[in-house]
Structure 1
Amino acid sequence: MTPAGPAPSPHKGTTHSDASPGALEPPRRLTFRNLSEVMPEVDRLCRGHRTLRRWTLGQIGRHLANGFHGSIDGFDLSRHRIKRTLFRRLLIAYTLRWGIPERYTVDPGIEPQEPVETETGVRELREALDRYRRHTGPLKPHPLFGEMPRPLWDRIHCIHCAHHLRFVVPDEGTGAPAADQSSSS
């Protein structure tokens, strides 16, 4: 169920480059129940879309791919030490309930710094998601949430994907949504 209005955010961080101050159209509501719903939605967006913020679908694909790779290879953990130590459980609970606040950056190192062709970003996302699914070893700590079991990592990745893909609106006639768009992550 969608909460009425935005919740106050316990997150304080770097502003995303995908937030355009003049953008008036709110993002769409998008939820992924599991990771198998992500690529069908991305494929649908590839048939026609428009973006509501500065990042292109290609840049979003690369950013999400970097997130999947980071959960296997590791992230820069130098930021958020105090939050990770003192507020980890609160921040996880907030994110699971309300999603990721707009314009919040956990690791600037995984943000796209240059233009990315849609096909390239989508291919990188598909390959990263496949790699993540095949990975059977331990996962690295999240920069903000620390050590997490695989099912929680899966949920956080679903929330992260929905957070960014909600800023990409499919053109009319591109098929039924692959994911439930009735509630927000």
Structure 2
Amino acid sequence: MNNVTFASLDEVREELSKMSGQDIVPMKEWPVYEILAHCAQTIEYSMTGYPQMKPKAIRNTIGRVAIRKFLKQGYMKHSLTAHVPGAPKPELQGTAREGMDLLLRTIEAFQAFHGPLQPHLLFGELSKEQYDQYFAMHIADHFSGLQHTD
């Protein structure tokens, strides 16, 4: 799935529906379940709080510049093997289907969430729309490392 782009979490949900029942093979170092669980974990932390934050000076400078760039260009590139700082590593056990279900449930929880969103560990305060677009880009970058068959 090279060069995957998603504009929103709704597009991610559509892709996950298409992927259901297909064989999915990771092209990078993490198992498929771990990739999907990591993506779900990042969304969950927007609602519950990230376990470790970058210093406020970094969030207010480099972080703001980075997120503005990503949102403007509509895609992002980042380390596909970096776990969320301070977070437990997603469990390695689970099938691709279980990972897809976990990610779908987390997306649905985020979309239905009406409470205050927590600041991103690097980008700081984001609106729900900005988070939606960021998560879509984050997932697309990870999906670029997957291959699936119909």
Q: 2:30 touches 2:81 (CA, 8 Å); kept in 1? A: no
Match of 1:107 among 84, 87, 93: 84
Q: 2:43 touches 2:135 (CA, 8 Å); kept in 1? A: yes
TM-score (norm 2): 0.84
CA distance 1:63–1:149, change in 2 (3 Å): same
Amino acid at match of 2:118: K
Question: 2:46 aligned with 1:71, yes or no?
Answer: yes
Can you list the C-alpha shifts for 1:44-67, whole angstroms capped at 9, x where unaligned? 334123221122221122111111
CA distance 1:30–1:136, change in 2 (3 Å): same
- Superposed structure 1 runs of 4+ greater than 4 Å apart: none
Match of 2:13 among 18, 25, 39: 39
Q: CA RMSD in A?
A: 2.1
Considering Cα pairs closer than 8 Å and 6+ residues apart, tell me whether 1 or 2 has the greater RCO.
2
CA distance 1:157–1:59, change in 2 (3 Å): same
TM-score (norm 1): 0.70
Can you list the C-alpha shifts for 1:50-96, whole angstroms capped at 9, x where unaligned? 22112222112211111111110010234354421332321112333
Quote the sequence identity (%): 23
Structure with the largest fraction of helix: 2
Q: Which has the larger radius of gyration?
A: 1
Instruction: Structure 2: give runs of 5+ residues left out of the alignment.
Output: none
Instruction: Structure 1: give runs of 5+ residues left out of the alignment.
Output: 1-26, 175-185
Match of 1:152 among 117, 130, 146: 130
Q: 1:67 touches 1:110 (CA, 8 Å); kept in 2? A: no
Alignment correspondent of 1:93 = 68
Alignment correspondent of 2:30 = 55
Q: How many residues align?
A: 146
